[in-house]
Structure 1
Amino acid sequence: MATNSLPLERKQDTTFLMIMVFVLSFFLNQSNVLFGINLSLSDFIIVGVLVSLIMKQELELPLTHILVFSTFSIVILFYSLFIIPNQYMIAANPLATLIDYTKLLVVFLYYTIGFNLSRLKLTTTFLKGFVIGAVGIGFVGILISFVPIPYLSSIMLFGESRLIGFMNDPNFFAVIQCCALSILLRMKPLNSIIRFGAIGIILLSIISSGSKSAVILVFLYSGYFLVTKAVKMKSTTPLRAAGSLILVLGLLVIIPNILTYTDELMAIIVNRFPIFSRVELLFTDFSSAVSDGGSGRAQVWETAMHIINSAPFLGIGLGNYIPIAEQFVYNPNVAHNTYLQLSAEWGIVLTVLFFIYVGSALMDAKPSLFKDNQENQNRQIIRDILIIFLIASVSISLNNARIFWLVLGMSVFQAKYAHSLNEL
């Protein structure tokens, strides 16, 4: 009996962990501000995943990662609380610094869990849970556009018109939906009807968010996706290559005809989704679209540049951004640009090193190097999500985005440790 029960026990343990990972990824589609901190149900579930991995003795992370984060933590906390307040003649704010450092600690936890999910081959479970959550929330959001539901409408709509799902920002919600779009485009096997239906829901939910940045992101990612498909055509059979070529040529013929009816199409969409009038400017008056209607980034970017110029090498640390920004502008706000935000807080040197690290993970984890089709697919999807975040970071501050850090942990394992498990 003992011999037979051990495999069963291991299977049950694995099943429980898979369920927690699925639920964790599902709730990455939700976050709200509570007590000044952006909280998600996934934050509580990830603690359960952490405890489970520790109890199973399955939690691993290279020592260098722990040492780098620990050293960075000590330096930036000391700098934030003692050096910067004296340099800028502001009062040290331990609470604000603690809140910002807590965010950093949480995303490092997500990075660690992402590293281990990839190591334990739970990437597919993660992707399925996340995309199901995104499509489900998108569907409910579109539904309330047709049939208003009082309680849900008050939660899922920003300003009574922009869809935010269960997030606290319509732009971030739209970026999350773009990540789900990349999964739907890459994931196989998937029934064609389900795929196209889910993609339709995702695209409509992005439109309903009224995020012009996300619409631009969809076009940029679509271009990247088509280019990668075109490159792969060289390695396919002549018949499939010919079919793909015919499809591309067909689109080139059809699209110009569709564009002649752009005004009529826009009118129909705006009539059903009034918030699309924000996005419509992208097609009719691009310059106004990126500067008007709350989309202007010039002031907050200029403020971030002033801060960077004043502390270019080591930044201003954590918890000091708003009081220092007040010295440059009357109404300060975050940079709405991840690169500028990190450069202001961490300094240019650390920010450049960090993004070199991210870039190396993207470059080293090439799907074509691996024979396992499922593993190849997962690697490509993870790369796509990272690329989406890197593009979106130009217009949104995503330095504390949970899914970005979790996916980064996955990508780092895939790039640097997948072939050398014994090194950990």
Structure 2
Amino acid sequence: MAINSLPLERKGDTSFLLIIVFVMSLFLNQSNVLFGINLSLSDFIIVGLLVSLIMKQELELPLAHILVFSTFSIVILFYSLFIIPNQYMIAANPLATLIDYTKLLVVFLYYTIGFNLSRLKLTTAFLKGFVIGAVGIGFIGILISFVPIPYLSSIMLFGESRLIGFMNDPNFFAVIQCCALSILLRMKPLNSIIRLGAIGIIVLSIISSGSKSAVILVFLYCGYFLISKATKLKKITPLKAASSLVLVLGLLAIIPTVLTYMDELMAIIVNRFPIFSRVELLFTDFSSAVSDGGSGRAQVWETAVHIINSSPLMGIGLGNYIPIAEQFVHNPNVAHNTYLQLSAEWGIVITVLFFVYVSSTLIGSKPILLENNQANQNRQIIRDILIIFLIASVSISLNNARIFWLVLGMSVFQSKYTHSVNEL
């Protein structure tokens, strides 16, 4: 079913949607647990956006997507409530299953909205709102490191030291900030001073989160970013080549000096940001950094593997992970790995098919020469955010991350249902 990009004809409709998408994007930087569910103010706004699009007859989604989700819902609910409890000799828990299914329903809603944001040429409004929210929260978080503000400090700090912004997990907050970093690096036009200042705030907020996996993620993404930039150079003049060589040699020349004063530099940073002591290990003792201080993933990964081995094809469904995990470990927790978590709940077959589909959108959403610069820029940013989530999924369970599903919906439309999207 082919779907074309349909511009809103009335200026008032366009302005209203731009504002509501911008505000919704701001609040994607916030979520808190209520009644066992992570709730965000963006959830309420997105419902209003959904109703508005329905009333204007502007909400569309390919029938195949609806049928797949409906079929998957029926199968996994039946499996979760009737098959798995008998197989593992556990009591069926309709409430836990309902809570997990509600999460799935919410992220499918975000997927649907993401698809339509691309279709209605509102990707730019989303990106701007999201990055402004991320930079603003990062700035406030850094500010309270210097000037403690009692109310904000109690909300934005985890364990009185790790910055979590307005999220409930420092690692997820850091991943969100990494997504904002990718937008800042790609977005044009943007004043150089504003860009550098905003990037500095984002990087400091990631460090302040104490997330070692996020610091590694930043390095991996920056490497990917530099490689992608280098491969796009159409012509390298002798002057540019000489300048690059001098820059590289200069950096190599100062490395010994930097290493000499590394301990002193680390001490200064740790003194100002105590939580950086967690990240410092990445530079001084990498093996300890990835296993000590609560970062060990071996036990939860091993538990997830046991669950997958016990039900590899269909998984264990929704609401059953913790009670089944208790059969393998005394204090069970989620897998802290999206691939393992989904394989345990959905089964290996569906999980593999899902990520193959996600990967196909990355290939299909590459910039197109016939499109304008804004459209190509947005395609690249959406690809980058998806790549960041796919990398971060190795150490964090991100299967219910709103922005991941929103961006996935955008990527699906860009890659499979249009070849020309001119952004507002």
Aligning the two structures, in what range does the TM-score lie when normalised by the shorter sequence?
A: over 0.9
Partner of residue 308, structure 2: 308
User: Is the aligned partner of 1:137 residue 2:137?
Assistant: yes
Cα distance in 2, alignment partners of residues 402 and 83 from structure 1:
29
Letter in 2 for 1:229: K
Letter in 2 for 1:198: A
Cα 1:27–1:249, aligned 2, differ >3 Å: closer, same or farther?
farther
The answer to whether the 8 Å contact 2:371/2:420 transfers is no
Cα distance in 2, alignment partners of residues 31 and 287 from structure 1:
32
Deviation, structure 1 residue 277: 0.3
Partner of residue 415, structure 1: 415
Letter in 2 for 1:383: R
Aligned to 2:232, what secondary structure does the other structure show?
A: helix
Cα 1:219–1:279, aligned 2, differ >3 Å: closer, same or farther?
same
Equivalences for residues 189-268 of structure 1 within 5 A? 189-235=189-235, 246-268=246-268
The answer to whether the 8 Å contact 1:179/1:385 transfers is yes
The answer to whether the 8 Å contact 1:313/1:347 transfers is yes
Partner of residue 51, structure 1: 51
Deviation, structure 1 residue 247: 4.4
Cα distance in 1, alignment partners of residues 89 and 242 from structure 2:
68
Cα distance in 2, alignment partners of residues 420 and 376 from structure 1:
9
The answer to whether the 8 Å contact 1:28/1:40 transfers is yes
Cα 1:241–1:376, aligned 2, differ >3 Å: closer, same or farther?
farther
Q: Summarize deviations over 1:144-185 as a string: whole Å, max 9, x none.
A: 000000000000000000000000000000000000000000
User: Is the aligned partner of 1:270 residue 2:270?
Assistant: yes
Which one is further off, 20-29 or 232-241?
232-241
Cα distance in 1, alignment partners of residues 311 and 8 from structure 2:
58
Aligned to 1:33, what secondary structure does the other structure show?
A: strand
Aligned to 1:38, what secondary structure does the other structure show?
A: strand
Cα distance in 1, alignment partners of residues 8 and 55 from structure 2:
18
Normalised TM-score (structure 2): 0.95
Cα 1:370–1:236, aligned 2, differ >3 Å: closer, same or farther?
farther
User: Is the aligned partner of 1:35 residue 2:38?
Assistant: no
Q: Summarize deviations over 1:241-263 as a string: whole Å, max 9, x none.
A: 66556545544444454233221
Partner of residue 67, structure 1: 67
Which one is further off, 259-268 or 295-304?
259-268
Letter in 2 for 1:348: I
Partner of residue 101, structure 1: 101
Cα distance in 2, alignment partners of residues 312 and 237 from structure 1:
55
Letter in 1 for 2:51: V
The answer to whether the 8 Å contact 1:29/1:167 transfers is yes
Aligned to 2:224, what secondary structure does the other structure show?
A: helix
Cα 1:144–1:82, aligned 2, differ >3 Å: closer, same or farther?
same
Normalised TM-score (structure 1): 0.95
Q: Summarize deviations over 1:12-57 as a string: whole Å, max 9, x none.
A: 1110110000001000000000011100000000011111111111
Cα distance in 2, alignment partners of residues 58 and 251 from structure 1:
53
Q: Summarize deviations over 1:215-249 as a string: whole Å, max 9, x none.
A: 00001001101111111123577766665565455
Partner of residue 360, structure 2: 360
The answer to whether the 8 Å contact 1:334/1:341 transfers is yes
The answer to whether the 8 Å contact 2:315/2:343 transfers is yes
Deviation, structure 1 residue 265: 1.2
Cα distance in 1, alignment partners of residues 82 and 416 from structure 2:
37
Partner of residue 118, structure 1: 118
Partner of residue 149, structure 1: 149
Q: Summarize deviations over 1:72-129 as a string: whole Å, max 9, x none.
A: 0000000000000000000000000000000000000000000010111111100000
More helix by share: 1
Partner of residue 329, structure 2: 329
Cα 1:413–1:238, aligned 2, differ >3 Å: closer, same or farther?
farther
Gaps of 5+ in 1: 1-6
The answer to whether the 8 Å contact 2:8/2:14 transfers is no
Cα 1:252–1:225, aligned 2, differ >3 Å: closer, same or farther?
farther
Tell me the C-alpha RMSD between the 2 structures: 1.8
Cα distance in 1, alignment partners of residues 325 and 318 from structure 2:
13
Cα 1:252–1:234, aligned 2, differ >3 Å: closer, same or farther?
farther
Aligned residues: 415
Deviation, structure 1 residue 9: 8.6
Cα 1:186–1:238, aligned 2, differ >3 Å: closer, same or farther?
farther
Cα distance in 2, alignment partners of residues 61 and 251 from structure 1:
51
Percent same amino acid among aligned pairs? 89
User: Is the aligned partner of 1:393 residue 2:390?
Assistant: no
The answer to whether the 8 Å contact 1:233/1:241 transfers is no
Deviation, structure 1 residue 418: 1.0
Partner of residue 182, structure 2: 182
Cα distance in 2, alignment partners of residues 285 and 33 from structure 1:
35
Cα distance in 2, alignment partners of residues 8 and 110 from structure 1:
20
Partner of residue 161, structure 2: 161
Aligned to 2:10, what secondary structure does the other structure show?
A: helix
Cα 1:170–1:43, aligned 2, differ >3 Å: closer, same or farther?
same
Letter in 1 for 2:224: Y
Letter in 2 for 1:223: G
The answer to whether the 8 Å contact 1:370/1:376 transfers is no
The answer to whether the 8 Å contact 2:365/2:411 transfers is yes
The answer to whether the 8 Å contact 2:115/2:410 transfers is yes
Aligned to 1:67, what secondary structure does the other structure show?
A: helix
Cα distance in 1, alignment partners of residues 241 and 368 from structure 2:
18
Which one is further off, 404-413 or 233-242?
233-242
